[in-house]
Amino acid sequence: KNFFQDKTGQVGKPRFHSRKYLKKSYTGKSIIKTAGKRYLKIPKLGYVKTSKTGVLQNTKIKRYTVLLEPTGKYYLSLQAEIPEPEKYSLTGKRVGIDVGVADLAILSNGLKYPSFNSSYFEKKAKIWQKKYSRRRHLVKLLVLQDRNKRVLCPRSLESFTNWQKAQKSKAKYQAKAANQRRDYLHKLTTHLVKQYDVIAIEDLKTKNLQKNHHLAKSIANASWRMFRQMLEYKCEWYGKKLIAVDP
């Protein structure tokens, strides 16, 4: 609607999600109850063993989503109303941050924080990607063979499990790298927000910088956008100030 009614030409055409790889999830609004130390009672599913139920004290759960990841693990995502977090005590310190590729954050006082190194997991994921592609290609040939020979019970892609195992192994290494990167960024941003009252950061346009194909992979691995987002909401939560400086 925005695209067709727009007369300025600034609104782009809608981009639809691929039909091939849909997220296997469902969402509900019913009441979820904490039952014991590590158990939740979910509508229809019943009692489910989970973790971090202690965080749900004094909260009102409004919505839940059950999601099956490509790794084969199930995750429960909750939307909840929580009381405001306690503000961090003021330190009277100010700092400017410059983000980079080799060092994720270079502070104006000379301190440097290195970027997360995901080369080990990337190498493993690459190996399993090759195995997955090769196995899937061979399976496709067998399926086509059955179709051409007009076999009574032709085999389907889903009847072969070898390529699915390779896909799961590849997804596990990719998820491991993503989780460790997110954990590293959470620890770093929380440390910076605790230490400094005012943080100034350059307002970079990451999307434009990623058009440089020599640096795109390094920029994506450094996760500048995620680093900036975490700083923004943590400063808002804990009573600190973030200033975005024009490039």
Asked if 69 and 171 count as a contact pair (C-beta separation under 8 A), the reply is: yes
| Domain extent listing, the chain | 19-81, 94-245
Contact 100, 175 (CB under 8 A): no
- pLDDT tens digits, one per residue of 48-76: 888 888 888 888 888 999 999 989 888 89
Q: Band the pLDDT of 208: cuts 50, 70, 90.
A: low
Q: How far apart are CA 69 and CA 75, in angstroms?
A: 7
Average pLDDT score, the chain: 88
Q: pLDDT tens, 67-117?
A: 999 898 888 999 988 888 888 888 999 999 998 888 889 999 999 999 888
Average pLDDT over residues 191-211: 85
pLDDT at 8 over 80: yes
The model's pTM: 0.79
**What are the tens digits of pLDDT across the range 136-177?**
999 999 999 999 998 889 999 999 999 999 999 999 999 999
pLDDT in tens, 116-131: 888 899 999 999 999 9
21 pLDDT tier (thresholds 50, 70, 90)? low
Is the per-residue pLDDT at 200 higher than 90? yes
Say if residue 22's pLDDT is above 70: yes
Give just the sign of the alpha carbon dihedral 79, 39, 184, 186: positive
